[in-house]
Amino acid sequence: MHTQGPVPLDDQSYIERNFELQLVKEVQAGKWVLLLGPRQHGKTSALLRLREKLSKHSTATALVDLQRAPPFTSYSQLVTWFGKRVAAELEHATEIAEVDDLLMALSAALPPGNTPVVVLVDEASNIGDDNWRNSFYGQLRSIANDRAIAQEGDISRRLRFVFAGTFRPERLVAEANSPFNTCERIETSDLTLQDITKLAGDAGLLKPIDAAAAIHDAVGGQPFLIQKLILEAIGENNEVAAIERTVSTLREGAGDHITNLFRKITSDDALASMVATLVDHGKIAIEAGNEDQRYLIVLGLLRRERGSLYFRNRLYAEVAALSAQLVKVETNDAQRAVLFPLDLDAFSKISSTELQEVAHLAQRGAVAAYRSGSNRLALAGFGTAMEAVLIDFLARQSSGDLGKAAGLAKSKGRYFDPADPATWTLADLMRGTRELLGKQDVNIPENLREWRNLIHPGVAVRSYIEDSKLAPEVGVAGLQLQIVLRDLP
């Protein structure tokens, strides 16, 4: 079982899936390919096997993982590094001068001749600078365009690219610069029940058929989760019970796999709204050209079936139904709501880099505290995040509007400065923001301010509530923060 990194080439238990066969077919036909699929779904393992098969047919290949790129200070450094990696993979000893022209770098990287070269680009979205990313893929698009008019031996005629990752092709680069819309699009596929049974048997489980049925019922054909559950069952007297215990832990949001999947959804209002609708109705109709729907499939959360979208497996459906950031959750002593950290992009409306970091890390800290059972600390964290968001909003207002907001302040203490929202209390930040926007535009209830103050022992003991019983308030606080992030201009 392999839950960390790609499956080694010599692993006899590896199961080849249909998408891998399609990948080989398209590349051998001379096409450029875009391979999309969820994290931990076998893309890198498939690229390694593609390279091995092509090598057996004397096709030169270069595998470049953009996630392993070092920090760069200029675009030319990125281009030159990429060219050098291609040359190294092709075992072509050559010097590549620092250039900002990708065609020149690749021309130097390829060995002489007319034979085709396949460049496999893993983690293709991992170029952080927007301008560099548009330039890089724009230059690749030019190479793709030149294929139609290229002469024998030209670099554009020899090169074939396979791009792999988990991203939105239509948003990664400007459409005019994108080579992705010249590619054959292939999406990774799940394992079957028969595949799971084979893996369970190969791992030595005593009752592989029963274990595979329990695994498939919970997580469908998701490769990473399947292997994780099989590993948890190895050596257990009751394998199915061990699988169910692990599923129960995952349902509570444990583990990077669940966190990394759902934080992308809770950080995006459109995705969160779509998933909330799916929780309520059980399915949603497929809409042609809907980028958000396609991305939820690429992320691995949803699957297509007969014109509708459904949760990819029961585990994902149950986690979504328990997420207080997606739906209203009725909790009890046996089951707490699930919370996830937000991506930095969720705080993009905050203009101050410092306050953006404060809000982002405070929200992440609140989620971590909640998961560890410290609800008061979680409420304090959400309150701090809210405070940073509102300080930034008010600091962006005109002096007249800021004065109007300051006029409603009730806690004008020693350090209060009407021209500096950073000196205001959270309650006054809330009042001032409501005054400027109106309740119909953004609702900022003051209960978060009250809950945040429970971190103070003196306040906590006045009307004491056990920390463990504050979980519902934490769920509400997390949702209130997201509402404000969504609605503030």
Q: What is the pLDDT of residues 225-278, one digit of tens each?
A: 999 999 999 999 999 999 999 999 999 888 899 999 999 999 999 999 999 999
For 333-452, where are the alpha helices, taking DSSP H only? 353-371, 375-395, 399-406, 426-437, 447-452
The confidence score (pLDDT) of residue 1 equals 56
Could you report the per-residue pLDDT of 396-406, keeping only the tens digit for each?
A: 999 999 999 99
CA 214 to centroid of chain Cα atoms:
27
Q: How far apart are CA 60 and CA 90, in angstroms?
A: 7
The confidence score (pLDDT) of residue 8 equals 74
Q: How far apart are CA 437 and CA 321, in angstroms?
A: 32
The structure's pTM equals: 0.87
The confidence score (pLDDT) of residue 408 equals 87
Domain ranges of the chain: 18-187, 193-251, 256-322, 344-487
Q: Which residues pair with 311 in a beta bridge?
A: 302
Could you report the per-residue pLDDT of 272-313, keeping only the tens digit for each?
A: 999 999 999 999 999 988 999 999 999 999 999 999 999 999
Burial class (CB in 10 A: 0-12, 13-18, 19+), 27: buried
Which residues are within 8 A (CB) of 374 and not within 5 positions of it... i.e. 6 or more apart? Answer: 467
Assigned token pair, 349: 């409306």
What does each C-alpha distance from 81 to 75, 87, 162, 414, 459 come to in angstroms?
10, 10, 18, 57, 58
Q: How far apart are CA 46 and CA 38, in angstroms?
A: 13
Q: In terms of CATH, what superfamily is 18-187?
A: P-loop containing nucleotide triphosphate hydrolases (3.40.50.300)
Could you report the per-residue pLDDT of 334-346, keeping only the tens digit for each?
A: 567 899 999 999 9
The confidence score (pLDDT) of residue 246 equals 96
The confidence score (pLDDT) of residue 386 equals 94
Over its length of 489 residues, how does the chain's per-residue pLDDT go in tens digits? 555 567 777 777 788 899 999 999 999 999 999 999 999 898 999 999 999 999 888 899 999 999 999 999 999 999 999 999 999 999 999 899 999 999 999 999 999 988 999 999 999 999 999 999 999 999 999 999 888 787 777 888 899 999 999 999 999 998 888 999 999 999 999 999 999 999 999 999 999 999 999 999 999 999 999 999 999 999 999 999 999 999 999 998 888 999 999 999 999 999 999 999 999 999 999 998 899 999 999 999 999 999 999 999 999 999 999 998 888 776 555 567 899 999 999 999 999 999 999 999 999 999 999 999 999 999 999 999 999 999 999 999 999 999 999 998 888 888 899 999 999 989 899 889 988 887 556 777 777 777 877 777 877 777 788 888 888 889 888 888 988 898 888
Contact between 479 and 378 (Cβ < 8 Å): no
What type of residue is 219? V
Chosen CATH of 256-322 out of 1.10.10.10, 1.10.40.30, 3.40.605.10, 1.20.1740.10: 1.10.10.10
